[in-house]
Amino acid sequence: MVRAIRGAAAVLLALVLLPACGGGGSGSAKKVVVGSANFPENQLLAEMYAQALEAKGITVDRKFNIGAREVTFKQISSGGLSVLPEYNGALLAYLDKASTATSTADVNAAVKAKLPTSLTILDSAQAEDKDSLNVTKATADKYSLKTIDDLRPVAGQLIVGGPPEFKTRQQGIVGLKSQYGLEFKEFRSLDTAGPVTVAALQKGDIQVANLFTTDPAIVVNGFVVLDDTKNLFSSQNVTPLINKAAVDATAQGALNAVSAKLDTTTLTQLMRKLAVDKQDPDKVAKDWLKSAGLV
C-alpha cells in the first residue's frame, strides 16, 4: 500500500515536471518581468500584457499576486519587476497625497513628474476601474444613501471594510475623512475587494465596503455604488508602469497596442468572464487578445 502511494506520487511529479524538460532552454534575450497586485483584475491585465509581449517574441517572467501597491512599487523601483498594470489616479495618490489632478491628462502629467527617473508610464487605456464605496440595497434604503456625502450623518454607526492599505491611503479612509468629513465607527481589514469583503458586506459584518467598479459582484449582489461627487477617486485609467531599462521599444509598442483597444465596457465584460463564468485568466486574456488582433 505504501509502495503504491509512493509510486503514485513519483509518477504524478514526473508527469508534471517532464514536459518542462522538452520546452526548456530560454533564449539569451532579456527577460521582462511582469508583476501584478493581489487581486484578479490586476492579474488578468498582467496576463494580457504578458501574452502581448510574448506574441512579439519577448521572453516574459510572471510574478503575479504579489501584494498591494505599497509592496509592488518598491519592487519595480528596485528592478525586481519590469511591468505593472497600474491605475493612474491611485498611483498619483500614492506618489503625491496632496495632488488635486483629476482628468486623465492632468493625472498622467503629474505622475510622470513624480516618478523616479528609472520608471515611467506608457499610454493610458480608456478603461477605468475605480475604488468605490458600496452598500447593500437594504442599507441604502434605510439611510437614503445615493452619494458618499449622504454617509456623513450616519457614518458613525457604520463599519467600513476594505484591504488593509485602504486605512492609510489618501484614496481611502484618510481622504474620506479630509474631503468628505466621514468618520466611521470602525474600519475592518479584509482583502483586496475580494471574496472576503463581498461576503462580509452580504452577511452584514460590515455596512460599507470598498469594492472595484468593474467587479461583477456589485451587480450580481445588487449592491449600490455610492456616487463619488467630489471625485476623490479621480481618474483610474489602466496604465502600464514600466522600468525603463527593462522594457525596450518593441515591448512598449506591444503594451500601448493593448491599451489602445481596452475600454471600460470591455474590461467589465472580461471581469464577468473571470468572476462569474469562472474562466481562467489566461484563457480570458488569450481570447480577448485574439479578438482584438493583438496576438
Partner 1 sequence: MSAFRDAWHWFFQSAQWSGVDSIPTRLGQHLYYSGVALLLAVAIAVPLGLLIGHTNRGGFAVVNLANAARALPTVGVVLLVVTLAGIGFLPVIVPLVALAVPPVLVNTYAGIRQVEPELVDASRCMGMRGRQVLSSVEVPIALPLILLGVRTAAIQIVSTATIAAFVGLGGLGRFIFDGLARQEYPTVIGGAVLVVSLALLTEMIFFGAQRLLVSPGLRTR
Partner 2 sequence: MDWAWVGGHVPLLSERVREHVPMAVLPVLFGLLISVPLGIACVRWPRLYPPVLALTSILYALPSIALFAVLVNVTGLRTATVIIPLTLYTLSVLLRNVVDGLRSVPESVRQSATAMGFSPLRRLAQVELPIAAPVVIAGTRVATVSNISLVSVGGLVGLGGLGQLFTDGFQLHQTTRIIMGIVLTVALAIVAHGLLVAAQRVLTPWARRSTGKAKP
Interface positions with partner 2 (CB under 8 A): 5-6, 8-10, 12-13, 15-17, 19-20, 23, 35, 38-40, 43, 63-67, 71, 74-75, 78, 80-81, 191, 194-195, 274-275, 278, 280-281
Query: Looking only at residues 160 through 179 of this chain, which bind partner 1 when binding is defined by CB under 8 A?
Result: 163-165, 167-168
Q: Which of 189/265 has CB closer to partner 1? A: 189
CB of 228 to partner 1, least distance (A): 23
126 vs 122: CA distance, rounded Å: 13
* CA 52 centroid distance within chain: 18
190 vs 192: CA distance, rounded Å: 7
CB of 269 to partner 1, least distance (A): 25
Binding region for partner 1 (CB under 8 A) out of 43-51, 187-195, 245-253, 281-289: 187-195
**3-state SS of 41-85?**
HHHHHHHHHHHHHHHCCCEEEEECCCCCHHHHHHHHHCCCCCEEE
Find which of partner 1, partner 2, none residue 39 binds, CB within 5 to 8 Å per kind.
partner 2
Can residue 74 be called a binding residue for partner 1 (CB under 8 A)?
yes
Give residues with Cβ within 8 angstroms of 116, minimum separation 6: 77
Secondary structure of residue 223 in the 3-state scheme = coil
CB of 269 to partner 2, least distance (A): 17
Cell of 261: 483597444
Q: Which of 33/190 has CB closer to partner 1? A: 190
